[in-house]
Structure 1
Amino acid sequence: MNWEDLLSLKRFGDKHKRLRKEQDETRLGFEVDYDRIIFSSAFRSLQDKTQVIPLSKTDFVHTRLTHSLEVSVVGRSLGRAVGKAILEKHPYLREVHGYRFNDFGAIVAAAALAHDIGNPPFGHSGEKAIGEFFKNGTGVKYKLQLTAKEYQDLIDFEGNANGFRILTENREGVSGGLRLSYATLAAFAKYPKESLPKKPTKHIADKKFGFFQSEKNFFSDVANDLGLIRIRKGDDVSFARHPLAFLVEAADDICYTIIDFEDGINLGLIQEEYALEYLINLVRGSINTEKYHSLTTKEDRLSYLRALSINTLISDATRIFLENEEKILNGDFDCSLLDKSKYTAQINDIIKLSVDNIYKSTEVVHKEIAGYKILNTLLEAFSEALIRMNKGEGSNYDKLVLELLPEKYKTSGAVYTMLLSVCQFVAGLTDGNAVLLFNKITGSSLK
């Protein structure tokens, strides 16, 4: 892979090549990507979607929205740092093509901003709930009407693939979705493969999948235009990651490691003393102990340690990327950047503490159980109503249920198309709207 192709400004429907040196410096194409994402309704819905604590109304706990904004900020710093070094190493990118280090930052910032845009309500349990509906719930009856890969898309419903669908889907009057640059779309795709074969190798890019069968052809077009390396031959579509996807992943890893930990402390699920023991291990070389001890509130002390910790991990991730640039461009770098970090032990300690004290806390478990019930009820009601109506077998109840389904999701044709449309609708609901819709369908709102 080469940087000139990887930094493509091309968008869906373009008939001519977009040249970097011809860009308006006051509004660059990669910055337009950021703007389109932040003004989209799918992004706005993240303000009421769980990051750690489902349905939490606590002021200082992060939602998917605040998490995504923070990941974007960290991603921008990573992209700029890497971009500066890449341009120094490959000056033709600047001198011949006009690229600037801010371009790298803008691509990573936009992709990072969108990284959770396809995630369902109720955190990662929402993905599992949708998959369980088709694997062990009522939805299993559709298996024989689907291809193996279509069925795998549903039973392993993946927020990353749903995100790519949201960013790129064609609708009447809207071609190419948000029409983001191909560079940003590829940087967004941490898992550039389809759902089968499942985890064929231990390579980080094979951990999950990044697009549904419905977007398979468009993803292939993006990958081929950018020169991403084709990993598997034949009918199984799989590519090496776009190098900047490693930075998007690192930004997400840094934020959830440090900020989820901070949320746990603020919620009282983790004692503040652990912040001293665990976070200080990350920042021993940069902490100003006099300044730290002058801070009088828990929030200020945590904020100081958090900022130092994030900066430490940004510097380390940048170092790892640049040291492995050739392997990354050849598709041979097979793990996340933080897996090679000199702070891996400290990171793992923090994550283990978060898992034991936050993700497995009673509040989280209780609300995830409720999320399973809510999403299964919605999936059953809408998928059965939509399919029966398309067969001409719909009841009056089905007609009423579909009154609650927005027009853009009332698809027809193949069963897979209809099921995926319902999944996209349910995944797009906020936590609060999912509860509200569940109450309407079950009649709870009338009690």
Structure 2
Amino acid sequence: MDWERLLSLKRHGDTHKRLRKEQDETRLGFEVDYDRIIFSSAFRSLQDKTQVIPLSKTDFVHTRLTHSLEVSVVGRSLGRIAGKQILKKHPYLAEIHGYHFNDFGAIVAAASLAHDIGNPPFGHSGEQAIGEYFKTGNGKKYRSELSEKEYQDLINFEGNANGFRLLTESREGVDGGLRLSYATLGAFMKYPKESLPKKPSRHIADKKFGFFQSEKHAFVEVAAELGLIPTREGADVSFSRHPLTYLVEAADDICYTIIDFEDGINLGLISEDFALEYLINLVKDRINTKKYNTLRYKEDRLSYLRALAINTLISDAVDLFVANESKILNGTFETSLLDKSKYQAQIRDILAISVGNIYNSREVVDKEIAGYKVIFDILEVLTNALVGKMSGQASKYDGLILKILPEFYTGEETSLYRIVLNACCYVASLSDSSAVHLHSKITGTDFNLS
């Protein structure tokens, strides 16, 4: 892969090449990507979607929105610092094509901002609940009418694939979705493969999948424009990662490692003394002991250690990225950057505490159980109504359900796959609170005649 193609400013529907040196510096194309994402309705819904603690009522806990904003800030720093090194190594990018180090930061920031945009309500349990409905719930009745890959899209519903759909899906009058630059879409594409074969290798890019069958053509178009390397032959679509995806992934990994841990401390799930010890182990080579000892309040001590830990991991991730640039460009770098970190032991210790004390806490588990029930019930009602409409056998109740759905999801679809995928994507678009509210409507527990 070569950087000139990887930094493509092309957008869906363009009939001519966009040149970096002709860009308006006051409204750079990569920065437009950021703006389009942040003003989108899908991004706004993240303000009421779970990061770790579902339906939390405290001010301490991060939502998908605050997490995404923080990841974008870390991603911008990673991109800018790495961009300086890349331009030193490949000066033609600046001298001939006009690229600046800030371009790398803008691309990574925009892709980082969007990295969770396709995630359903109730955190990762939301993805699992959608999949389980089709794997073990009533949704398994559709198995015989779908192709193997279409069915896999449903039983292994993936927020990353739904994110790509949201960013690129055309609708009447809106061709190409948000029409982001292909560079940003490429950096967003964390798992550049379809749902099958599942985990065909140990390469990090094969861990999950990045597009539904409905977006295969759009995905291939972006990958071809960027010059991503095909990694499989025949009918199975799979590509190498865009190099900047590694920085997007690192930004996410850094934030959830440190900030989820901080949430656990603020919620009292992790004792302060115990937690501070783990953070100090991570930053012991960079900590200003004199300054730290002047901090009287827990919030200030946590804030100082969090900033220091994030900066420490940013520097390490950039060093790893630059040192492994050639492997990343030829598609042979097989792990995340943090998996190669010199702080791997400290990161592993922090994550182990988070898993035991936060992710598996009673509060999280109880609300995930409730989330499963909410999603199962909504999907049952929606799929019955949408499939009933397609077959001409919709009941009166189905007709009422269709009236509460946005028109985009109730169009004249004739493909069973697209109809049930629409139901999944509608559920994924719901915030935690709106999913609970809709569930109350359809189960009659929110019945009010006043």
- TM-score with structure 2 setting the length: 0.99
Partner residue in 2 for 1:310: 310
Partner residue in 2 for 1:419: 420
Partner residue in 2 for 1:197: 197
Matches within 5 A, 1:220-259: 220-259=220-259
After the TM superposition, which parts of structure 1 deviate over 3 Å for at least 4 consecutive aligned residues?
Answer: none
CA distance in 2, matches of 1:300, 1:320: 30
* Structure 1 gaps, min length 5: none
* Structure 2 gaps, min length 5: none
Per the alignment, in what secondary structure is the counterpart of residue 446 of structure 2? Answer: helix
Partner residue in 2 for 1:428: 429
Per the alignment, in what secondary structure is the counterpart of residue 445 of structure 1? Answer: coil
Partner residue in 1 for 2:334: 334
After superposition, what is the alpha-carbon deviation per residue over 1:376-433, rounded to whole angstroms, capped at 9, x for unaligned? 0000100110110111101100001111111011131100000111111000000000
Aligned residues: 447
After superposition, what is the alpha-carbon deviation per residue over 1:6-46, rounded to whole angstroms, capped at 9, x for unaligned? 00000000000000000000010000000000000000000
The Cα shift of 1:77 comes to 0.2
Matches within 5 A, 1:161-200: 161-200=161-200
CA distance in 1, matches of 2:291, 2:138: 58
CA distance in 1, matches of 2:362, 2:447: 29
Per the alignment, in what secondary structure is the counterpart of residue 250 of structure 1? Answer: helix
**Which letter does structure 1 place at the counterpart of 2:69?**
L
**Which letter does structure 2 place at the counterpart of 1:271?**
S
After superposition, what is the alpha-carbon deviation per residue over 1:125-160, rounded to whole angstroms, capped at 9, x for unaligned? 000000000000010000011000000000000000
Matches within 5 A, 1:45-64: 45-64=45-64
The Cα shift of 1:352 comes to 0.4
Partner residue in 2 for 1:103: 103
CA distance in 1, matches of 2:19, 2:405: 42
Per the alignment, in what secondary structure is the counterpart of residue 157 of structure 2? Answer: coil
Question: For the Cα contact (< 8 Å) 1:275–1:302, is it kept in 2?
Answer: no
The Cα shift of 1:169 comes to 0.2
The Cα shift of 1:57 comes to 1.2
The Cα shift of 1:276 comes to 2.1
**Which letter does structure 2 place at the counterpart of 1:438?**
H
Greater alpha carbon shift after TM alignment, 299-308 vs 408-417: 408-417
The Cα shift of 1:60 comes to 1.4
Are 1:348 and 2:360 an aligned pair?
no
- TM-score with structure 1 setting the length: 0.99
**Fraction of identical pairs, as percent:** 73
The Cα shift of 1:275 comes to 2.3
CA distance in 1, matches of 2:426, 2:241: 28
CA distance in 1, matches of 2:64, 2:400: 32
RMSD: 0.6
**Which letter does structure 2 place at the counterpart of 1:68?**
S
Matches within 5 A, 1:98-177: 98-177=98-177
Per the alignment, in what secondary structure is the counterpart of residue 238 of structure 1? Answer: coil
**Which letter does structure 1 place at the counterpart of 2:356?**
D
Question: For the Cα contact (< 8 Å) 1:232–1:238, is it kept in 2?
Answer: yes
CA distance in 1, matches of 2:210, 2:235: 16
Partner residue in 2 for 1:41: 41
After superposition, what is the alpha-carbon deviation per residue over 1:296-325, rounded to whole angstroms, capped at 9, x for unaligned? 111111010000000000000000000000
The Cα shift of 1:277 comes to 1.4
**Which letter does structure 2 place at the counterpart of 1:360?**
N
Partner residue in 1 for 2:291: 291
After superposition, what is the alpha-carbon deviation per residue over 1:355-374, rounded to whole angstroms, capped at 9, x for unaligned? 00000000000000000000
Per the alignment, in what secondary structure is the counterpart of residue 446 of structure 1? Answer: coil
The Cα shift of 1:282 comes to 1.1
Matches within 5 A, 1:344-383: 344-383=344-383
Partner residue in 1 for 2:407: 407
